[in-house]
Homo-oligomer: A and B are copies of this chain.
Amino acid sequence: MAQLPHRVVIVGGGFAGVNAAKTLGGKPVSISLVDRRNYHLFQPLLYQVATGGLSPSDIAYPLRAIFKQNRNVEVLLAEVRDVDPQRKQVHLETGSLAYDSLIIATGAGGQYFGNDHWEPYAPSLKTIEDATEIRKRVLLAFEAAERETDLDEQLSWLTFAVIGAGPTGVELAGTLGEISRDTLHRDFRHIQTDRARILLIEGADKVLPVYPDDLSRKAERALIQLGVRARTGLKVVDISAQGLHVEGPRGPEFIPCRTVLWAAGVKASPLGRMLQQRCGAELDRAGRVMVDGTLNVPGHPDIYVVGDLAHVKQPDGAMVPGVAPAAMQMGKYVAHAIAARMGNKPVPAFAYWDKGSLATIGRHKAVADLGRLHFDGPLAWLIWLFIHLMYLVGFQNRLLVFVQWAFSYLTFNRKARLITGGLVLPELRAPRGTAPPATEDADAHPVLKS
């Protein structure tokens, strides 16, 4: 009787899962990659979709296409219902999968710190649907402002708040600044889009809190040039359809604001809790699984947790950050660990190689923290561009994204600013058309007359 190949089940087709599967692709194992989406998403550029600079398909690539040539990889479009570590099975809604090694790489979503009721008013940015929803809200806010005759209401539509000044928040706010100042300039007839207020709300006392002080200062200066006002040391107390209640050094404050975007924190995928119940895994406050040095759930050398769902301690006690390069490294590491264990070889502990941090601010500025080297301005932006293009899966996407960026850069044109998925116009308090009727000669503007 022929020996069965070692069966690896990978749950999640993000950076960690795809890199694990790709690395195992040439090895004598049989791999099932389970995801409820049929594509791999290049999340670091999701904010570009949310702001109309890129199309969803520019940053997403079908999983089946990625593994076309890897005949030992099977892609399954399914959701995980349960994990059974005793019988070594994963239960899907369509049946069960047996595994010899299990890799959980299901990442994280938006974290509202116990205030999940804020989510409808302040969507976070994790999926393509999030991105198109945010794009729709931003574009409809300008449309609503154009129709609004009450000046306070108009200002409220033209105020955009981004909560959280980490790299994603900085990128979102900077791009909103560009859109309002450059892209939409001259698109409207009754509003001046460059008067839009973009607020970047942060609880810490500076933007990019984990960056060195000099880069945080440079980032804030670059943001100001794009019309973004950073408001640091502010705690968000409540969010509603009308705006934000915040608490700062000067006491409580209400900011009227119709569009709020959430970039303040992540919560681990619910599979963490499942591992807690089934394998006694320990979770951190954000729901991440505390793994050991080989990225295993302690006591379960056949179950690995990688990517944003894993809480990995570095030798200095700090956590490996939830960024794409770390997820890629973990994915490749577990692939090698599984191969080593199959050959009864020793498995060295996972070591995170921190290549530095990069955050982009608008079209040609960025800050880069490469340890002792700090960059800012156009050079940092070029480094950022190069790295992101290098990592984009698939040659076609890479070139297309580059062409699109080149055009955006040269023309300030954001081509993907479509409002799709059913048009529900925001409710207006005093819409332009319902003003009291004017006499014929007093009303030189022909449109939206009662």
Residue positions of A touching B, CB distance < 8 A: 1-2, 4-5, 7, 30, 32, 36-39, 55-58, 60-62, 64-65, 68-69, 71, 74, 76-78, 92-99, 128-129, 132, 139, 143, 147, 184, 186-189, 394, 396-397, 399-400, 403-404, 407, 411, 413, 415-423, 425, 428, 431-435, 440-441, 444-450
For the complex, what is the distance from the CA of A404 to the CA of B139, rounded to whole Å? 26
Residues of chain B lying within 8 A (CB to CB) of residue A440: 4
Of B71, B76, B403, B416, which is within 8 A of A399 by CB?
B403
Known: A30-B446, A57-B415. A94 touches B420 (CB 8 A): no
Besides the known contacts A38-B139, A96-B450, 20 further A-B residue pairs in the complex with CB atoms under 8 A apart: A1-B441, A4-B444, A30-B445, A36-B423, A37-B423, A38-B143, A38-B418, A55-B56, A55-B416, A60-B418, A64-B187, A65-B187, A65-B413, A74-B447, A78-B425, A92-B448, A95-B434, A95-B449, A97-B446, A400-B403
Chain B proximity of A436: nearest CB distance (Å): 11
* CB nearest to A190 among chain B residues: B74
User: Does B449 contact A97, Cβ atoms closer than 8 Å?
Assistant: yes
Question: Can you report 11 residue pairs joining A to B where beta carbons are below 8 Å apart?
Answer: A7-B447, A38-B418, A62-B417, A68-B186, A77-B423, A94-B431, A94-B448, A96-B433, A97-B449, A394-B415, A399-B407
Residues of chain B lying within 8 A (CB to CB) of residue A418: 38-39, 56-57, 60, 62, 128
Copies of this chain assembled into the complex: 2
Residues of chain B lying within 8 A (CB to CB) of residue A411: 396
User: Does B76 contact A447, Cβ atoms closer than 8 Å?
Assistant: yes
Chain B proximity of A345: nearest CB distance (Å): 23
For the complex, what is the distance from the CA of A403 to the CA of B55, rounded to whole Å? 15
Residues of chain B lying within 8 A (CB to CB) of residue A65: 187, 413, 417
For the complex, what is the distance from the CA of A415 to the CA of B56, rounded to whole Å? 10
Residues of chain B lying within 8 A (CB to CB) of residue A441: 1, 4
Chain B proximity of A155: nearest CB distance (Å): 19
Of all A-B residue pairs in the complex, the 4 with the closest CB atoms, nearest first, are A95-B433, A7-B446, A64-B187, A57-B416
Chain B proximity of A316: nearest CB distance (Å): 40
Chain B proximity of A63: nearest CB distance (Å): 9
For the complex, what is the distance from the CA of A450 to the CA of B91, rounded to whole Å? 9
User: Does B403 contact A92, Cβ atoms closer than 8 Å?
Assistant: no
Residues of chain B lying within 8 A (CB to CB) of residue A1: 441
User: Does A92 contact B38, Cβ atoms closer than 8 Å?
Assistant: no
* CB nearest to A410 among chain B residues: B396
Residues of chain B lying within 8 A (CB to CB) of residue A71: 189
For the complex, what is the distance from the CA of A424 to the CA of B421, rounded to whole Å? 16
User: Does A74 contact B32, Cβ atoms closer than 8 Å?
Assistant: no
Of B36, B62, B129, which is within 8 A of A421 by CB?
B129
Interface centre among A147, A396, A413, A447 (most CB of B within 10 A): A447
For the complex, what is the distance from the CA of A65 to the CA of B412, rounded to whole Å? 11
For the complex, what is the distance from the CA of A428 to the CA of B64, rounded to whole Å? 21
Known: A57-B416, A57-B418, A64-B187. A32 touches B143 (CB 8 A): no
* CB nearest to A183 among chain B residues: B65
Residues of chain B lying within 8 A (CB to CB) of residue A132: 420
User: Does B57 contact A448, Cβ atoms closer than 8 Å?
Assistant: no
* CB nearest to A92 among chain B residues: B433
Residues of chain B lying within 8 A (CB to CB) of residue A97: 433, 446-449
User: Does B128 contact A420, Cβ atoms closer than 8 Å?
Assistant: yes
* CB nearest to A420 among chain B residues: B128
For the complex, what is the distance from the CA of A69 to the CA of B304, rounded to whole Å? 57
